């Protein structure tokens, strides 16, 4: 795992690291010629800002950071680095959680946030195109007034193309799908600088059976196959009505059983989130609330007024039959925001359990029927391991996070957490699940990926990587 023995930067691992022959003033001038002088930086503070994401992976700064403003510039940057054998790392908002942007071999970090154009909005077709730097909140602000929204919500205000790169999902996925279901086309700069349109330039049919599904291959490729410079996304109509709810349960199984029954009843629930009693306690303390400190579901219903009321009624009956209590409902935007505040602030509430410490989130996803046992075993393991880690889950998808709060200076505790996270990953694999539902493999889960997919799948992934990036320059050291 990433924590105890996080992979150091290559330069640090080998005491006699070779000098980077490519890192010359001439090379930097060629970058400046492409993006303009002020858009190239080798300042230490800038490089360190780009050497890590929000995870606890060690900071490995790139040798230079550049800010292109167009796909043509990204293409020239890629070609320049390719011809000189320089590693390149795409960088969006830096909100990843698996060390995806750390420059383990140094190289040039390509910060894409200055490419922030939104174009080709087609309300009748529910499609829009966003450049690499557009965040999900910026897109939803842009869409306001059109009756449309983009529902995939991983929590952070991440860039949408970064969300493509990690196959992000989050709280709305149970109803609207993950990024995989909401991307129609991608513009990608390949490692050698050629510009690829995964479904053909300007194409946006709702479905296609034309050739290999390159779009699907780049979703979740974590920057290792190319730069995702534009995404054509599928939009959704803003629902006429939204109702939010929370409900407490006597135990974890009752909460999960309720979730299964809601889904089996075909109720088109938009969000169904689980917080364990530790998490609820943390939320109460962090936000001055007084919720029951019990396993709790946070729910949201989208639809017409009538269908939402019907969903609410049917869901309430299911929750009650499983011992649900302490119901709270909210219909107006402000009240819904207040009700869900505990869920939205979960990460900060967890961190506040140990002020001054840092957070690390696990990310397993298992078949729903196995979720109760995995949750219970994980809670026992947490206690046995003497770790602080409230649980929060996208329970409708069988995906949950253990928000470990750790002392970054305590090597022994980090080692203990790493062992815990490894056991949790293997516990998920043992019941047919995955070690990552939505955060990706990045640096820390490469061994678990091997165990998860097996040698034949891993070698097939390697063949694809070799075919598309033969010099291994695109975000090297990640995923495989």
Q: Is 320 in the site for its own copies (CB under 8 A)?
A: no
Q: Report yes or no: 230 and 132 within 8 Å, Cβ to Cβ.
A: yes
Nearer to its own copies, 59 or 261 (CB): 261
Nearer to its own copies, 45 or 467 (CB): 467
Q: How far apart, in whole angstroms, are the C-alpha atoms of residue 343 and residue 230?
A: 31
Q: Is 35 in the site for its own copies (CB under 8 A)?
A: no
Q: Is 440 in the site for its own copies (CB under 8 A)?
A: yes
Q: Is 53 in the site for its own copies (CB under 8 A)?
A: no
Q: What separation in angstroms does the CA of 292 have from each of 277, 281, 286?
A: 8, 8, 14
Q: Which of 18, 206, 356, 412 binds its own copies (CB under 8 A)?
A: 206
Nearer to its own copies, 65 or 164 (CB): 164
- The angle subtended at Cα 328 by Cα 322 and Cα 332, nearest 5°, is 135
User: Comparing C-alpha atoms, which of 156, 138, 22, 15 is closest to residue 87?
Assistant: 22
Half-sphere exposure of residue 302: CA atoms within 13 angstroms, side-chain side: 15
Q: Is 467 in the site for its own copies (CB under 8 A)?
A: yes
Q: Is 464 in the site for its own copies (CB under 8 A)?
A: yes
Q: Report yes or no: 303 and 240 within 8 Å, Cβ to Cβ.
A: yes
Q: Which of 211, 288, 355, 356 binds its own copies (CB under 8 A)?
A: 211
Q: Is 166 in the site for its own copies (CB under 8 A)?
A: yes
Q: Is 281 in the site for its own copies (CB under 8 A)?
A: no
Stretch that binds its own copies, among 204-212, 286-294, 325-333, 375-383 (CB under 8 A): 204-212
Nearer to its own copies, 236 or 422 (CB): 236
Footprint on residues 351-390 left by its own copies (CB under 8 A)? 363, 365-369
- The angle subtended at Cα 403 by Cα 402 and Cα 409, nearest 5°, is 125
Token pair of 105 as six digits: 């071999």
Stretch that binds its own copies, among 2-10, 278-286, 377-385, 456-464 (CB under 8 A): 456-464
Nearer to its own copies, 341 or 464 (CB): 464
Nearer to its own copies, 240 or 326 (CB): 240
Size of the site for its own copies (CB under 8 A): 99
Q: Is 408 in the site for its own copies (CB under 8 A)?
A: no
CB of 166 to its own copies, least distance (A): 6
Q: Which of 21, 45, 209, 355 binds its own copies (CB under 8 A)?
A: 209
Nearer to its own copies, 41 or 224 (CB): 224
Query: φ, ψ for residue 408 (rounded to 5)?
Result: -65, -20
Nearer to its own copies, 46 or 453 (CB): 453
Q: Is 147 in the site for its own copies (CB under 8 A)?
A: yes
Footprint on residues 67-86 left by its own copies (CB under 8 A)? none
CB of 89 to its own copies, least distance (A): 18
In eight-state DSSP terms, residue 324 is -
Q: How far apart, in whole angstroms, are the C-alpha atoms of residue 354 and residue 406?
A: 8
Footprint on residues 90-129 left by its own copies (CB under 8 A)? 122-127
In sequence order, what are the residues at sequence separation of 6 or more whose Cβ sits closer than 8 angstroms to the Cβ of residue 30?
A: 80
Q: Which of 449, 473, 476, 477 binds its own copies (CB under 8 A)?
A: 449
User: Comparing C-alpha atoms, which of 218, 77, 229 is closest to residue 159?
Assistant: 229
In the numeric block, the tokens 């999900």 are attached to 136
Nearer to its own copies, 190 or 243 (CB): 190
CB of 350 to its own copies, least distance (A): 21
Q: How far apart, in whole angstroms, are the C-alpha atoms of residue 265 and residue 477?
A: 44
Q: Which of 173, 405, 406, 421 binds its own copies (CB under 8 A)?
A: 173
User: Comparing C-alpha atoms, which of 30, 33, 22, 29 is closest to residue 62?
Assistant: 22
Stretch that binds its own copies, among 110-118, 273-281, 301-309, 403-411 (CB under 8 A): 301-309
In the numeric block, the tokens 């889904």 are attached to 263
- The angle subtended at Cα 322 by Cα 319 and Cα 323, nearest 5°, is 90
Q: Is 250 in the site for its own copies (CB under 8 A)?
A: no
Within the chain, what is the greatest distance between any pair of CA atoms? 71
Exposure b/e, 239-267, CB count within 10 A at least 16 = b: bebbbbbbbbbeebbbbbbbbbbbbeeeb
* Strand order through the sheet with 40-41: 40-41, 64-66, 108-111, 88-91
Q: Is 453 in the site for its own copies (CB under 8 A)?
A: yes
Footprint on residues 13-32 left by its own copies (CB under 8 A)? none
Q: Is 292 in the site for its own copies (CB under 8 A)?
A: no
Q: Report yes or no: 5 and 100 within 8 Å, Cβ to Cβ.
A: no
CB of 333 to its own copies, least distance (A): 18
In the numeric block, the tokens 């296609």 are attached to 208
Q: Is 266 in the site for its own copies (CB under 8 A)?
A: yes
Write each residue from 217 to 246 as x if it is in contact with its own copies (CB under 8 A), else as -, in one continuous string. Answer: x-xxx---x----------xx-xx------
Query: φ, ψ for residue 258 (rounded to 5)?
Result: -60, -40
């Amino acid at each position: 795992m990433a924590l105890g023995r996080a992979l150091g930067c290559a330069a640090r691992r080998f005491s006699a690291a070779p000098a980077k022959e490519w890192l010359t003033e001439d090379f930097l001038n060629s970058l400046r010629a492409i993006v303009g002088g002020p858009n190239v930086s080798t300042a230490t503070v800038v490089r360190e800002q780009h050497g890590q994401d929000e995870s606890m992976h060690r900071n490995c700064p790139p040798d230079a950071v550049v800010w292109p403003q167009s796909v043509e510039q990204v293409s020239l940057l890629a070609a320049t680095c390719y011809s000189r054998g320089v590693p390149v790392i795409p960088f969006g908002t830096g909100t990843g959680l698996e060390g995806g942007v750390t420059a383990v071999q140094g190289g040039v970090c390509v910060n894409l946030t200055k490419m922030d154009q939104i174009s080709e909005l087609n309300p009748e077709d529910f499609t829009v195109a966003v450049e690499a730097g557009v965040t999900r909140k910026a897109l939803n602000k842009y869409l306001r007034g059109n009756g449309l929204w983009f529902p995939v919500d991983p929590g952070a205000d991440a860039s949408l193309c970064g969300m493509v790169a990690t196959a992000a999902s989050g709280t709305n996925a149970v109803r609207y799908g993950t990024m995989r279901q909401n991307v129609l086309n991608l513009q990608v700069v390949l490692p050698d600088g050629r510009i690829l349109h995964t479904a053909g330039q300007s194409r946006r049919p709702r479905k296609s059976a034309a050739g290999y599904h390159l779009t699907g291959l780049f979703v979740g490729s974590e920057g290792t196959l190319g730069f995702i410079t534009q995404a054509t996304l599928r939009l959704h109509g803003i629902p006429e009505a939204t109702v939010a709810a929370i409900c407490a349960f006597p135990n974890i199984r009752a909460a999960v059983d309720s979730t299964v029954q809601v889904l089996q009843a075909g109720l088109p629930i938009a969000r169904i989130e689980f917080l364990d009693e530790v998490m609820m306690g943390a939320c109460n303390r962090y936000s001055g609330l007084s919720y029951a400190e019990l396993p709790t579901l946070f729910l949201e219903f989208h639809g017409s007024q009538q269908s939402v009321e019907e969903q609410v009624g049917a869901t309430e009956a299911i929750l009650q039959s499983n011992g649900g209590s302490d119901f709270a409902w909210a219909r107006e935007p402000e009240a819904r925001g207040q009700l869900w505040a505990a869920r939205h602030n979960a990460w900060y509430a967890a961190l506040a359990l140990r002020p001054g410490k840092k957070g690390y989130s696990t990310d397993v996803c298992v078949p729903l029927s196995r979720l109760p046992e995995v949750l219970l075993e994980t809670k026992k393991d947490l206690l046995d391991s003497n770790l602080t880690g409230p649980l929060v889950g996208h329970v409708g998808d069988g995906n949950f996070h253990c928000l470990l709060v750790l002392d970054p200076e305590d090597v022994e505790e980090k080692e203990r957490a790493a062992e815990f996270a490894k056991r949790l990953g293997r516990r998920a694999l043992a019941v047919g699940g995955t070690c990552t539902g939505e955060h990706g493999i990045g640096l820390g889960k490469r061994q678990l990926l091997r165990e998860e997919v097996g040698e034949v799948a891993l070698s097939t992934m390697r063949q694809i990587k070799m075919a598309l990036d033969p010099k291994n320059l695109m975000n090297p050291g990640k995923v495989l």
